[in-house]
């Protein structure tokens, strides 16, 4: 029983140590240009490595390339867009060749790793817009997830009250904010813990080795000025 307790605590600790997915990971000494830097610095940031993420808005297939329009959101410590934060704009991701739009479903969260290139002009509704643009080297499409709290003890009509966490008791002197070890509200038969349900794994398209590090000459004025954004 004690071994099971140690195993559960170990899983809880490891689950809190999220890491950056391999497809968008970079060496520790890599300098990444931020979205704000790309908007304000314009051509000074061309050719630099960037890792941006957000929500997929749309996919545009052209004869020799594909553009993915994204609403930008800041990334957390392991590269996932923080959708609850405030967005500061949009950007486009350029992928060489054809990419089936089904691979980038509208509304899904994605993070792209690539190289900053010249901006792309377009429209948001009826408003002209200049998109900061990166040439994609790889990406990670995040699975949809839903979190909710449940009581670890539930009633089974065949066996009566039961819980796989029956050994969870405050007498062990342990504490976890969701499971409730050592929680005064846990008691011998109470408490709640958080369950995260993940959606289906998104389709992964191999876009590696498609990109080119070449960048076209940039326009002289900054994107900030052209899009009417406030400098931060």
**pLDDT score at 188:** 46
Reading the chain (232 residues) residue by residue, the pLDDT tens digits are: 445 544 554 544 444 457 999 999 999 999 999 999 999 886 888 999 999 999 999 999 999 999 999 999 999 999 999 999 999 999 999 999 999 999 999 999 999 999 999 999 999 999 999 999 999 999 999 987 565 566 655 545 555 544 454 444 444 444 444 444 444 444 444 556 665 555 555 567 777 766 544 444 344 445 555 565 444 4
Q: Delimit the domains of the chain by residue range.
A: 30-143+203-226, 146-198
Q: What is the pTM assigned to this prediction?
A: 0.65
CB-CB contact of 133 with 94 (8 Å)? yes
**pLDDT score at 200:** 59
CB-CB contact of 168 with 156 (8 Å)? no
**CA pair distance 110, 31, nearest whole angstrom:** 20
**pLDDT score at 216:** 41
Longest alpha-carbon distance in the chain: 73
CATH architecture of the domain 30-143+203-226 equals Beta Barrel (2.40)
Percent of the residues in the chain that have a pLDDT greater than 90, as a whole number: 51
**Among 115, 117, 109, 48, CA closest to 78:** 109
């Amino acid at each position: 029983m004690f071994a099971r307790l140690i195993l559960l605590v170990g899983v809880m600790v490891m689950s809190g140590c999220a890491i950056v997915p391999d497809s968008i990971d970079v060496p520790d000494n890599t300098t990444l240009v931020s979205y704000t830097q790309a908007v304000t610095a314009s051509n000074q940031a061309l050719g630099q490595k960037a890792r941006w993420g957000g929500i997929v808005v749309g996919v545009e297939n052209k004869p020799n390339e594909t553009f993915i329009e994204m609403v930008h959101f800041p990334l957390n410590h392991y590269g996932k867009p923080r959708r609850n934060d405030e967005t500061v704009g949009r950007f486009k991701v350029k992928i060489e060749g054809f990419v089936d739009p089904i691979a980038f479903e509208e509304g899904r969260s994605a993070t792209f790793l690539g190289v900053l290139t010249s901006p792309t002009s377009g429209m948001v509704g009826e408003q002209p817009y200049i998109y900061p643009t990166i040439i994609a080297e790889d990406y990670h499409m995040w699975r949809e997830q839903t979190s909710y709290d449940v009581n670890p003890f539930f009633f089974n009509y065949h066996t009566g009250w039961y819980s796989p966490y029956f050994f969870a008791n405050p007498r062990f002197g342990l504490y976890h904010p969701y499971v409730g070890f050592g929680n005064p509200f846990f008691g011998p038969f109470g408490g709640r813990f958080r369950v995260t349900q993940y959606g289906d794994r998104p389709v992964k398209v191999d876009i590696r080795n498609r990109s080119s590090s070449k960048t076209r000459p940039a326009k002289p004025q900054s994107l900030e000025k052209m899009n009417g954004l406030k400098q931060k």
